[in-house]
Amino acid sequence: MNKPVNQKAWFFVLPVLVLVAFNAIIPLMTVVNYSLQETFGSNVFLWSGLMWFEELLRSSRFQDSLGRQLFFTFTILVIEIPLGVIIALAMPKKGPWVSVCLVLMALPLLIPWNVVGAMWNIFALPEIGLLGKTLNSLGFDYNYTRQTGNAWFTLIAMDVWHWTSLVVLLSYAGLVSIPDAYYQAARIDGAKSWAIFRYIQLPKMKRVLTIAILLRFMDSFNIYTEPLVLTGGGPGNSTTLLSIDLAKKALGEFDLGPAAAMSLIYFLIILLVSWVFYTLMMRNEEQ
Amino acid sequence: MEDPILFSFKWWIEPLGTWMAWTRITIAFFMFLAFAISCMAMWERAVPGGAPRHGVFAINTTRGDRLFISLLGSAFICIGWLFFFGAPLWGALLIIVAWTVFVFRYV
């Protein structure tokens, strides 16, 4: 039997194609063009070839900000994923407290990013902030505006506060979708709580956890507003992540060529890691 | 200013106005990408057989996936070459050809 062919469907895809072209493809093509040229403003372009890429890849400034970015992303993933799972496991699965817990968990996610940065900026101030003042009165020498370690501690604490909820909600959704029969079978076999977690809950949460890791990786690798408002990349350059460095280069120094080269490398790293996660996710599904 | 000779290096890199800062060489690059994707479509139409295959990386890939992997890999080969040896990219190009053949044959 011949299948009817209706090409009209392509017209329905057209608006999406136009939208994607204008918000992704054309800007990306422009970035490629800029990355190979030098401009001093007033729309005069000079060919520079691969010079910006070479300079950038070998510059310690780029390597340092990439290193800081990787460290930041790795640290928050190591903290947020297990913490999110633990909180989800501890949350009630039935009864009136379910809604209360879910609302409380969702609250940090509803706050705009720049407000989170401003909140933590004030909260952690050593003289007047609740966190800063408390830590100092407990005998800790805490000042995130001057000390690198403290700035990193505050930055990571802020991200954990803001985004662990996402992991919690995803893990919780994975947990409540496990049929009761699995737990009953485990009880009959006399399985301990660790065995239940290891052989029932964790495998059933695998998919949502992969999505959680992917989302948190992409978000944390793109993070800009919160650290900018909290530390402004300081003290010195100690919390200047890749996105802040890129914005400094493109908007602060108006170095459009190197900034475009940096954007492309940044984009390729995100694309590679996202593809790896996507492939792993698909492989899990096939298995 | 003197017009560059047709197909000379200067001709390829000459700025073509201000909108999107195009040059002929970057147009050629994007045309190559579009051509590669069109070739894949024509290949699939002429010889259907793009069902997923289990390759050496232990992942299922279609022909389109293999094109994506070879392009993404090529970008990183260029980045690596620029970091270790710098421009020009002729050496990287050889590795890219070998990588693409490997991906389409075995991945």
Where are the domains positioned within chain B? 1-48, 52-107
CB-based contact A36 B26, cutoff 8 Å: yes
Query: Is beta strand B53-54 parallel, antiparallel or unpaired with respect to B60-61?
Result: antiparallel
Coil/strand/helix, residue A192: coil
Q: What is the pLDDT tens value at each position of chain B, 107 positions in all?
A: 677 788 888 899 888 888 888 999 999 999 999 999 999 999 988 988 778 888 898 888 889 999 999 999 999 999 999 999 998 999 999 999 999 999 999 98
A178, with CB counted inside 10 A (0-12, 13-18, 19+), is: middle
SS3 of residue B48 by DSSP: coil
Q: What pLDDT was estimated at residue A184?
A: 92
ipTM of the complex: 0.91
Q: Do A283 and B30 touch (CB under 8 A)?
A: no
Q: What is the pLDDT of residues A43-84, one digit of tens each?
A: 888 899 999 999 999 999 999 999 999 999 999 999 999 999
pLDDT of residue A63: 95
CA distances in angstroms from A98 to A164, A177, B31, listed in the order given: 18, 15, 55
Whole-angstrom distance, CA of residue A26 vs CA of residue A14 = 16
Interchain contact, A36 vs B83, CB within 8 Å = no
Cβ contacts of A37 on chain B, cutoff 8 Å? 15, 21, 23
DSSP state of A214: H
Counts for chain A of helices (H) and strands (E), in that order = 14, 2
pTM as predicted: 0.87
CB A100 within 8 A of CB A186: no
Positions of chain A with pLDDT under 70: 1-2, 284-287
Give the tokens for residue A59: 């510059």
Q: How far apart are CA A269 and CA A68, in angstroms?
A: 14
Report the distance separating Cα A9 and Cα A17, nearest Å: 13
Q: Hey, what long-range contacts does A250-255 have (CB within 8 A, 24 or more apart)? A: A254/A41
Q: Going by C-beta distance under 8 Å and a sequence separation of 6 or more, which residues neighbour residue B78? A: B89, B92, B96
Q: Any CB–CB contact under 8 A between B60 and chain A?
A: yes
Q: Is A45's CB within 8 Å of B21's CB?
A: yes
Closest CA to A214 of A81, A44, A107, A21: A81
Set of chain A residues whose Cβ sits within 8 Å of the Cβ of B26? 29, 32-33, 36
What does the pLDDT read at residue B104? 93
What residue type is assigned to position B17 of the chain? Answer: G
Compute CA distances A91 → A86, A165, A171, A196, B33, whole Å.
9, 12, 11, 16, 50
Q: Tell me the per-residue pLDDT of A156-172, one tens digit each, with 9 for 90 and over.
A: 999 999 999 999 999 99
Nearest to B72 among A36, A49, A272 (CB): A272
Q: Is A181 left (phi over 0), alpha (psi -120 to 50) or beta?
A: alpha
Note the pLDDT of residue B1.
60
pLDDT, chain A, mean? 91
Cβ atoms within 10 Å, residue A17: 11
> Is B85 at the interface with chain A, CB within 8 A?
no
Task: Assign 3-class secondary structure to A82-147.
Answer: HHHHHHHHHCCCCCCHHHHHHHHHHHHHHCCHHHHHHHHHHHCCCCCCHHHHHHHHCCCCCCCCCC
- CATH classification code of A69-286: 1.10.3720.10
User: CB-based contact (8 Å) between B23 and chain A?
Assistant: yes
Contact criterion met (CB below 8 Å) for A122 and A128 = yes
Q: Where are the domains of chain A?
A: 69-286
Q: Of the candidates B26, B60, B86, which has its C-beta nearest A33's C-beta?
A: B26
